[in-house]
Amino acid sequence: MNLIEFFGRLHPVMVHLPIGILLLALTLDGVEWKNPKFQSPLNIQFILWIGSGAAIFSVLSGYALSQNGDYPIDQLEQHKRLGYITSIFFLFYAAVRNWMVSKRIGHLTLTLCGILLLITTGHKGGSLTHGEGYLYALVEPNKDQKNSTATLTDEEVKSIEDAGWVIAPIAAGDGKLRIVGFNIEGSAQQALKQLSNFPDHIEELKLSYASITNADLQSIRSLTALKKIWLDHTRASDSCIALLLELEKLNYINLTSTSVTESGIIQLKQKKPRITIYPAL
């Protein structure tokens, strides 16, 4: 068993612990700021120390999880930076909290900053797994629904799901699909051919651990909107490099645990210098 990978996979489970603890501390602090005579039955500074410790554990597990290259690099880096900032902020908060209570403006500023950081960091984390429009798409649901159904009908979406593909929510306003996995045991060859019926709609395609070969990948040649593809833990090799180079919009490839050689990765980098590739050389 890969212990680092196992530790990383604890992140989605454990990340909610520091959020809950720190929100409790911030809520009690807000009540105390509003009513200075309020006497909390709990030691708020102690709760902050516990929550900060849990946040550091969450950041470490998140860092371990990020090493598998499973997530879009730009969004991942934003979430990581916010995680580091949030954990450091709450360590500082816990250290100065009792001294800051007597300073009304400073006390309020710390509390509001803590709430803002938790919300923003959580939103960026949710966007990694549920799509960029996961939270704010709810503000204009009718608009998003119109944009998505105008380019792909419910029947077409269902046909993709029936073929075994797992679809993430459509990103707000662009009508593109994020294919995040294949849930039918066996080869994805026929399912890949089915995706070629929707060349303008597939923007992200995750084939991790799928039973596919270089020959199977020929079906993705028509996916002109494809920007990100995960081929990790598949039988892809250098023979697929020419095909990947044909995809003009492609800017992210995960080739972890494949037969693609260093020479193949260098070829990709030379022809597409701005592309992000895992594993990086």
Q: How far apart are CA 268 and CA 253, in angstroms?
A: 10
Helix (H) or strand (E) holding 175: none
Report the pLDDT value the prediction gives residue 142, as an integer from 0 to 100.
Answer: 47
Q: Tell me: the pLDDT tens digits for 148-164?
A: 434 677 788 888 888 88
> Using CB atoms within 10 A of its CB, is residue 188 exposed (0-12), middle (13-18) or buried (19+)?
buried
Residue 124 in domain = yes
Residue 136 in domain = no
Helix axes 104-130, 16-34, angle to 10 degrees: 150
Residue 135 in domain = no
Report the pLDDT value the prediction gives residue 19, as an integer from 0 to 100.
Answer: 93
Range of the structural domain that residue 79 is part of: 3-130
- Same domain? For 255 and 149 the reply is yes
The position carrying tokens 């730009």 is 74
Report the pLDDT value the prediction gives residue 123, as an integer from 0 to 100.
Answer: 85
Report the pLDDT value the prediction gives residue 72, as an integer from 0 to 100.
Answer: 67
- Global confidence as pTM: 0.60
Tally of domains in the chain: 2
**Six token digits for residue 7:** 């530790």
Distances (CA, A) of 162 to 38, 68, 149, 196, 217: 57, 28, 18, 15, 20
- Same domain? For 149 and 248 the reply is yes
Domain final residue pick, 103, 130, 157:
130
Q: Tell me: the pLDDT tens digits for 125-140?
A: 887 776 665 555 555 5
CATH of the domain at 241: 3.80.10
- Positions in the chain short of pLDDT 50: 141-150, 172-173
